[in-house]
Amino acid sequence: MLRVVLDANVFISALLSPTGVPAQILRRWEEKTFELIVSPAILEELDRVLHYPKLQERYHLPGERIGLFLRLLRGQATVVMPAVEINRIGQAPIDNRYLECAIDACAHIIVSGDRHLLQVGEYQGIQILAPAGFMALLKLEE
């Protein structure tokens, strides 16, 4: 089974647009098409971003919905505690947390809409794909 790390931007897009590709990715995870890997740093970033005032002003995400979503991830995804520290992406250091998580979990793929990660393309054998590219890959494997 594919072991996959999703960037916070994929989770957020899925929550904000239930018909978009990121939401389809989360549905595929719920169907057990792949194993979702997260780390405490990824969950913290997701919690922080979901509470951004700009995001809240525009989308009015209730705190209980955010809490429920984070509890679902903690309970259903595989949570790893990366033992490595990576500093590959200098322009956006937070993006290194995704590389660390993927390395520690022996993940196959990182899915992100972040240009800094996408520019890396592959890191130590781990593919870095945009959401549409990942969905295309899943469809090929069906």
CB atoms within 10 A of CB 65: 12
Q: At which residue do the structure tokens 């405490």 appear?
A: 40
Segment 1-20, tens digit of pLDDT: 999 999 999 999 999 999 99
How far apart CA 65 and CA 99 sit, in angstroms, is 28
Per-residue pLDDT band at 141 (split at 50, 70, 90): confident
Q: Which CATH number fits domain 3-140: 3.90.1330.10, 3.20.20.140, 3.40.50.10860, 3.40.50.1010?
A: 3.40.50.1010
DSSP annotation of 85 reads -
CA pair distance 134, 111, nearest whole angstrom: 7
Cα separations in angstroms, 131 against 42, 56, 62: 17, 24, 25
Higher pLDDT, 36 or 140: 36
Domain boundaries, the chain: 3-140
Distance CA 81, CA 101 (A): 7
State the DSSP code for 121: -
CA–CA distance, 68 with 97 (Å, rounded to integer) = 23
What pLDDT score was predicted for residue 118? 96
